[in-house]
Amino acid sequence: MNTSADLLYLAATILIAWLTGCALLAALTLFPKTRTRIQGLWPLMFSEAGILLTGTLPWLLPQPVLGLALAIAALRIGYESGRVNGGAQPQAGGIGACLLAGIAATAWFVDLSSWPLGLAVVALLLAVITLAVLWRPSLLWLWQFLLFPALPFALFVFAARWLDVAFIFVLSLLIVEIFDSFSLLGGRLLGKRLLVPRLSPRKTWEGLAVGLVAVGLSAIALVVGLNLDWLVVATVAGVATVGALAGDLLASAAKRRAGVKDYPAILPIQGGLLDIMDAWIVAGPLAAFAALLLQ
């Protein structure tokens, strides 16, 4: 499932899924009762097209292009997370960018699948952060930074570089975006009961239910339309959905601690790159490792 043809078929499926979402949104605008509730979703749909394109394209190109894209993402995500976790410290963004770039470079260039080497690198990183915090207690935020986004992003980069799971990563991106989009739509149309009020004032139980139904129907369509293994698709869909929710809530927790709504924005509608990728950087590697276990 990792050939270029498979990825191209999946990319075409992503385009069809986006067009289907546009058609559904257009249909909902025809009814006055739903039109007012989904106002403002069209700009999100067009930004969603850009997210799906930039998230899929690097996997279709030579691996150095993917490495460059991940390096740029590491610098930006590290900067955003440092700015939020580090609070008012002016150097926090630079520290976060350098630290996450270094972690990502290690995961890309060093095969950490050997347990002794992997444990040695992790122990060295923990020792460095511990010494930094002891030397300057104002760097205590590095522990939160390490939990999220550093650890998930390191696993993301490692799996992207050393495991043959490009198809699974793109599939998990599709599942994540379907889950997020339909959860938002369901919340707008039906949402009444908040899911996690302390972390996210917009997530509702009703939106979660709609998102899960959408993922389930999409999984069936993928199995039938692309003739994929149903067990692999079901596993990736289930694990990616749980990972997406966990990543979203971890990012929300960091923002709530800092008292901000979004990470430093790169898109006015979406917020920062970490607002865009928070779900995928957890869901992607989890889905990849789960799919490998099935083999």
- Rounded to an integer, the average pLDDT of 135-148 is 93
Instruction: Identify the CA nearest to 183 among candidates 128, 121, 265, 249.
Output: 249
pLDDT for the residue 126: 92
What's the whole-model pTM score? 0.95
User: How do the domains of the chain map onto residue ranges?
Assistant: 4-294
Residue 199 CA to residue 195 CA, distance in Å, equals: 9
Question: In this predicted model, what pLDDT tens digit does every residue of 45-66 receive, in sequence order?
Answer: 999 999 999 999 999 999 999 9
The string of pLDDT tens digits covering residues 236-287 is 999 999 999 999 999 999 998 888 889 999 987 888 999 999 999 999 999 9
The two tokens of residue 274 are 């970490």
